[in-house]
Structure 1
């Protein structure tokens, strides 16, 4: 079956009601995304500790999926009327009939991080049996290793872990960084995420990779300091979490920060230099990774 996909730009007050109304009147699915995702205006939400408890992006887009025969204009018009708004501007693309499982799998080949570190989906053969291979399938939680921010953090772990370290992965997503750390020789690894789905995905991925990483919601993380703290999130929460992340890092321990755009490096360096001696940033396709040693 072919499908139609429609994108509607909306503000924060109408995104959820419109999404619900579209589902009520015939959409097969409806998702809300940040209209500025991947830019300097990207907005962190969903109750990151220490941040305002905003629940939706101020400028959002609703992405709705319909079957091939659906009268999209009529459905959107009805949903808009139900929400008390004028007919919104929207764009529609036709998605041709395909084997979606095979198509999705074809988009995720093994990823080479370094000569000794690979990320391999379960449906692929291991490309290098002598390397460290992370078994990871794309899922609902962020982090498959394909994004430059994750790639930068994995490269840092590969280059700097010496063995035996206690590591904290703050904003663990799929658990990939905690899992990689253990497979690269860390003594223990804990991951934290505000999303229960991410915690479940991380636990499943750790089991698939046969490592004993522990994953927690923020309030459940035991009180302790770590040799290495990795935070691959976004600049907005990193602005707010500096004191907490520094407090979780042992004196002489190291911090690794990513999810930072190149143009945000100076600001983040100013904030984190309060606690850390920072090295030169590592860059990849407009993204940056900062690291340093706690004084």
Structure 2
């Protein structure tokens, strides 16, 4: 069986609308690459989290469709969204099953976060004797986040160094479930994954089942009240929602509990530090590339 791959170069501000439109007309998977990078060394962002826009100014977007998809219909959809786009800027090619699998294998390799934690794609087997290594297995073709993005990496490293044994953890904006699954495999007794996208909930549920931790992960939409205080809360979303959600997060984290926030661009941390200092102390900033993680501890002198 073969597939149809569409690719084009676009500005980062066009990415969200184009990606949504292509998904509406049947895109099965989307890959984003930096148009200005050396593609031999560049790792793809595979189906980025909802609302997440890559930092790159120009993006090469590739979308996979069933082989019989009408090419002229796709060109029409893109022409409506980007009037200045010339048909010649859109490239199509047929991709065999084995070729598409090789693309995933080339662009998504095992990655280590901290001392113990690794992310492995399903098409690569980890070593038989892994010792104390904790391995999360993900299908890169289905995930909304695989660890390739700096914000995810910052959160995974924070979880790796935390004492999660027997603890309750909230993963707010769970996407693929990678952080929730990592927390469970690192010893958390209960994990609550929250996302406003039902497709993300399904992806998280599927990945949790594959990793054998579905019995310890509750998945839900944010409008369902959860009154159990968490020992740790991690949220990898965007600076705007993080600012608005500060009072909610303060209610969700028990006094003395821990918090980690990411999805924050460098330069956005000052307002968040001031906002969260009302409820949290020992706030620290960690940076990777152009992105920031803020972590701290819930104050015990206020409720």
Same fold (TM over 0.5): yes
CA shift digits 1:34-82 (9 cap, x unpaired)? 99923499xxxxxxxxxxxxxxxxxxx9987798xx886x9756985xx
- Per-residue Cα deviation, 1:94-120 (whole angstroms, up to 9, x for no partner): 557561122123211111113321111
Structure 1 residues 289 and 208: CA distance shift in structure 2, 3 A? same
How far apart in 2 are the matches of 1:177 and 1:78? Answer: 35
Residue 202 (1) aligns with residue 198 (2): no
1:279 is paired with a residue of what secondary structure?
Answer: strand
Mapping for residues 72-151 of structure 1, pairs under 5 Å: 76=75, 87-90=83-86, 91-93=89-91, 99-127=99-127, 129-130=130-131, 131-151=133-153
- Using the alignment, how far apart are the partners of 1:164 and 1:105 within structure 2? 35
Instruction: Tell me the SS of whatever aligns to 1:145.
Output: coil
Change (3 A) 1:182 1:64: closer
Aligned counterpart for 2:276 among listed residues 272, 279, 283: 272
SS at match of 1:220: coil
- Structure 2 stretches lacking a partner, 5+ long: 31-46
Give 1:37's aligned residue: 53
Q: Deviations over 1:175-202 (max 9, x none)?
A: 1111111111112111001111111111
- For 2:230 and 2:13, the matched residues in 1 are separated by 40
* Contact kept? 1:254, 1:293, Cα under 8 Å: yes
Q: How many residues align?
A: 265
Rate the CA distance shift 1:139–1:268 in 2: closer, same or farther, 3 A.
Answer: farther
Change in CA separation of 1:287 and 1:194 when aligned onto 2, cut-off 3 Å: same
**3-state SS of paired residue (1:194):** coil
SS at match of 1:253: strand
Per mean C-alpha deviation after superposition, the further-off stretch among 121-130 and 144-153 is 121-130
> Separation in 2 of the partners of 1:129 and 1:216?
33
Paired residues of 1:5 and 1:63 also in contact (CA < 8 A): yes
Label 1:126 to 1:3 Cα distance change in 2 as closer, same or farther (>3 A). Answer: closer
Question: What is the aligned partner in structure 1 of residue 44 from structure 2?
Answer: none
Distance 1:221 1:161, change over 3 A: farther
* Structure 2 CA distance for partners of 1:19 and 1:226, relative to 1, 3 Å: closer
SS at match of 1:182: helix
Shift of 1:137: 1.5
Distance 1:221 1:108, change over 3 A: farther
* Bigger radius of gyration: 1
Runs of 5+ unmatched residues, structure 1: 42-60
Deviation at 1:251, TM superposition (A): 1.2
User: Equivalent residue of 1:218, what SS?
Assistant: coil
Q: TM-score, normalised by structure 2?
A: 0.73
d(CA) in 2 for partners of 1:249, 1:214: 17
How far apart, CA to CA, are the structure 2 residues paired with 1:109 and 1:139? 13
Measure the CA separation in 1 of the matches of 2:143 and 2:77: 33
Alpha-carbon displacement from aligned partner over 1:242-289 (angstroms, at most 9, x marks no partner): 111111111111111011111111122111112111432111111111
Classify the secondary structure of the residue corresponding to 2:284: coil
The separation in 2 between residues aligned to 1:62 and 1:247, in whole angstroms, is 40
Find the counterpart in structure 2 of residue 45 from structure 1.
none
CA deviations over 1:113-140 (Å, ceiling 9, x no partner): 1332111111111146211111112144
* Structure 1 equivalent of residue 185 of structure 2: 183
| Structure 1 position 172, deviation (Å) | 0.5
Q: What TM-score does the superposition give when structure 1 sets the normalisation length?
A: 0.74
* Paired residue secondary structure (2:169): strand
